[in-house]
Chains A and B, each alone.
Chain A
Amino acid sequence: MTNILEVQNLVKNYGDFQAVKGVSFNIEEGEIFSLLGPNGAGKTTTISMLSTLYTPTSGDAVVGGHSVTKDPMAVRGVIGVVPQDLALYEDLTARENLIFWGQMYNLSGKSLNIRVDEVLEQIGLTDKAKNRVKTFSGGMKRRVNIGVGLLHKPRLLFMDEPTVGIDPQSRRAILDTVKDLNKQGMTLLYTTHYMEEAEELSNRVGIIDHGELIAIGTQKELTQQVGQAETLVLHVSENDDSEALAKSLKGIQGVQQAEAVDHEVSIVCAEAEDVLAAVVTKANERGIKIRSIDIREPNLEAVFLHLTGRALRD
């Protein structure tokens, strides 16, 4: 497999603040690569540099053989971008939006019309093509937003958190679209802070936090870093102090990590059964009512917790 993207020590500074700190990774042609990290980790800044929107402070990336710093216009012909926020003209119809953006990607005439029809069908909006985008639901707008990125059949598609803020049905449709595109041969760089999406879609995952790529590999390779650890998840009452409980649990023998997010306490341990009794006792001592308990096999959430000491949703 050849690399369609090679990122070399990419850095982005805003004054004294370093948003991206020397990120390096490759993406092979035909794979789905996810950048997984919490909000503010540097995912969007990284994609913005790779898509030539921002100029890197230092480092470079080669997309389809073209440098993002030396030949940005050539890079733009190779890539498609689906931005995190909707980037559409709401007073234009879905079809008019696609026609306009197709023209910006040098499509014209009959081939443009044919391609627009194909994309409308692909995103399931053929019957709504003549409706103005502002009349669409959030999910339908997201689909048009994705459709724009597909018009010119890019070799590498950047998708920046495309499922944020939409209903479960639309999210399912988008995830299925991503898988379909990959089956058709398109390479994707997908950013998300949803561990489940990265697990479902990706051939490989890069975990990014505070502007640094802290781990990279297949899901199996990454979970092996945690060892055979399991994650015990306690669901506590809304009125209880989950953070105080998490702190107290760290002292229990066998507990490797304990973090509270909202009303859940995640405990990383070698064997959940070994610590379960002590955990429940500790909760009772603090007067905390446990509503339910989940035992999870090693996953990317656990990897993130293991690597950073924080939950992914922090």
Chain B
Amino acid sequence: MLKTFLIGIKDLRLAFRDRAALILMLAAPFVLTLGLGLVTGRFSSNNNSGLSDIPVIIVNLDNEQLGDALTDVFTSEELANLMEPAIGSDPEAARKSIDEDEAAAVVIIPEGFTRSIIPQQGDFNNPAETVKIEVYANPSRPTGAGIVKAIVDEFLSRVNEGSLSGSVSILQLMLSGRITPQQAEAAGLAMTEQLQTNPTDSALAITINSSTANGEEVKFDILAYLAPGMALMFLMYTVSYGGRSILAEKTQGTLPRLLVSPTSSTQILGGKVFGIFLTGAAQMLILIGASSLFFQLKWGDPIGVVILVLAAVFGATGWGMFITAMARTPAQVASVGSAIMLIFGIMGGSFISLDQMPPAIQTFSKITPNAWALDGFTTLALGGTLTNLSTPITALLSMGMILFLVSVVLFGKKNLVQK
């Protein structure tokens, strides 16, 4: 155990003495975050949020409970700083405004939206057609459009939950014999009436956590998305750099020398993995510290941040090991590692919000530590705590564990030393 620790510390020291590695581990993500912050206007005003007054046009053709509820969300006090809503009536005119770059997005709530979700009397035998809300996004304002889409998605998710729970409740009542099939419609209508009396109750309303446990107001800061995005992308460089060092030790003769010392293979491999983990964690924590210091970026709950960093580095370390186990030479690890860094950076949402991506890429992103960790960092930046991070942390730890086990099997087959 002690030797594993000592090998890890030695690798950490070596990584931080390599100038080229330092540039890519620390300087590059920091400078890119700074650059993207400048592009997004994060540093151009006194507003700490970096994103505010996103112009959005709401066209409510539904004019019933749910359409009105969604309109209310965008015009609510909670989103007053973030959104600058305008109410429109003509979908074509609204789309034209977007084409002329006058707003970030248009939300078109179609006629019959409420009826497609909450059936009216007589609809049980002739259910209304499903209609979809359209978000017409401005491609030149991806971040603002992404936030609008995220709000609509959250609203629809809540609506679906309410609709599904209503259906399930009716089914349960029928199965338990409490109501007959003939009574189902009446029971459904009763539930609908209850919904209609208070359409913005907790089952349907958007709830945005706008304050911390201490009562401090939380505003969404675009850097809270960009900074972890860049840090996570270059974390993939760090783990492939660490993985490369396993094969480099073989070519530079230090691995055979370790193997003829009274140190077991398990201690050596464990030490190398620990070194990658330590280096990645140090990189992330330095970047978080630097962005907090220089950009006044609030990452959120410190305990949550630390645990999420460790989980993200663990998941990424698994990838570093896997790339190394598949490669034959340090140069192969470097080239494959660089490619994966970029692919995961793009697919994992480091540059463009995953909400803007096609569904296939959103699915693919689940194999990247970037996507899960970004999800967690965004949650923390919006006021979430460790308790809200169970899904990303579980995913990252599982990812790391599976990749580590696969890598150990591959390393066993490879035999790093024997000619």
Residues in chain A within 8 A of chain B (CB atoms): 14, 48, 51-55, 73, 76-77, 79, 81, 83, 85-89, 91-92, 96, 100-101, 103-106, 148
**For this complex, into which size category does the number of interface residues on chain B fall?**
20 to 34
Q: Which partner residue on chain B sits nearest A12 by CB separation?
A: B419
Does residue B127 face the partner (Cβ distance < 8 Å to A)? no
Stretch at the interface among B28-36, B37-45, B190-198, B251-259: B251-259
Residue of B3, B18, B256 touching A104 (CB-CB under 8 A): B3
Residue of A54, A76, A92 touching B262 (CB-CB under 8 A): A76
The residues of A that contact B13 with a CB separation of less than 8 Å are: 92, 96
**Least distance between A190 CB and chain B CB atoms (Å):** 17
The residues of A that contact B418 with a CB separation of less than 8 Å are: 54-55
B263 and A104 within 8 A (CB): yes
The residues of A that contact B260 with a CB separation of less than 8 Å are: 51-53, 76, 79, 81
Q: Which partner residue on chain A sits nearest B257 by CB separation?
A: A87
The residues of A that contact B419 with a CB separation of less than 8 Å are: 14, 54
Given contacts A53-B417, A54-B419, contact A87 B264 (CB under 8 A): no
Given contacts A14-B419, A83-B253, A83-B256, contact A73 B14 (CB under 8 A): no
Name 9 A/B residue pairs within 8 A (Cβ), A-sorted. A14-B419, A48-B256, A54-B417, A55-B418, A73-B262, A77-B262, A83-B257, A87-B256, A87-B257
A53 and B254 within 8 A (CB): no
Mask, B230-261, CB within 8 Å of A = 1, is 00000000000000000000001110111111
Given contacts A54-B418, A106-B262, contact A81 B10 (CB under 8 A): no
Q: Give Cα A51–Cα B417 distance, bound, in whole angstroms.
A: 13
Q: Give Cα A148–Cα B260 distance, bound, in whole angstroms.
A: 12
A-B pair number, CB within 8 angstroms:
61
The residues of A that contact B6 with a CB separation of less than 8 Å are: 100, 103-104
Q: Which partner residue on chain B sits nearest A90 by CB separation?
A: B252
Q: Which partner residue on chain B sits nearest A82 by CB separation?
A: B257
Q: Give Cα A48–Cα B260 distance, bound, in whole angstroms.
A: 9
Q: Which partner residue on chain B sits nearest A14 by CB separation?
A: B419
The residues of B that contact A103 with a CB separation of less than 8 Å are: 3, 6
Q: Give Cα A106–Cα B263 distance, bound, in whole angstroms.
A: 9
Q: Which partner residue on chain B sits nearest A151 by CB separation?
A: B261
The residues of A that contact B253 with a CB separation of less than 8 Å are: 83, 85-87
The residues of A that contact B10 with a CB separation of less than 8 Å are: 89, 92, 100
Residue of A14, A76, A81, A88 touching B254 (CB-CB under 8 A): A88
Q: Give Cα A91–Cα B264 distance, bound, in whole angstroms.
A: 24
Q: Give Cα A18–Cα B83 distance, bound, in whole angstroms.
A: 77
Q: Which partner residue on chain A sits nearest B261 by CB separation?
A: A104
Can you add 17 more A-B contacts, CB < 8 Å, to A86-B252, A106-B262? A52-B259, A77-B262, A79-B260, A83-B253, A83-B257, A85-B253, A86-B253, A87-B253, A87-B257, A88-B254, A91-B14, A92-B14, A100-B6, A100-B10, A101-B257, A104-B258, A105-B262
Does residue B17 face the partner (Cβ distance < 8 Å to A)? yes
The 9 closest A-B pairs by CB, nearest first: A87-B253, A87-B257, A104-B261, A91-B17, A51-B260, A76-B262, A85-B253, A81-B260, A87-B254
Q: Give Cα A298–Cα B52 distance, bound, in whole angstroms.
A: 93
B262 and A87 within 8 A (CB): no
Q: Which partner residue on chain A sits nearest B9 by CB separation?
A: A100
Q: Give Cα A190–Cα B258 distance, bound, in whole angstroms.
A: 20
A105 and B417 within 8 A (CB): no
The residues of A that contact B3 with a CB separation of less than 8 Å are: 103-104
Q: Give Cα A101–Cα B259 distance, bound, in whole angstroms.
A: 12
Q: Which partner residue on chain B sits nearest A91 by CB separation?
A: B17
B256 and A73 within 8 A (CB): no
The residues of B that contact A83 with a CB separation of less than 8 Å are: 253, 256-257
**Least distance between B333 CB and chain A CB atoms (Å):** 18
B257 and A148 within 8 A (CB): yes
Q: Give Cα A14–Cα B14 distance, bound, in whole angstroms.
A: 35
**Least distance between B337 CB and chain A CB atoms (Å):** 20
Residue of B14, B17, B261, B264 touching A101 (CB-CB under 8 A): B261
Q: Give Cα A293–Cα B261 distance, bound, in whole angstroms.
A: 49
Q: Give Cα A101–Cα B256 distance, bound, in whole angstroms.
A: 13
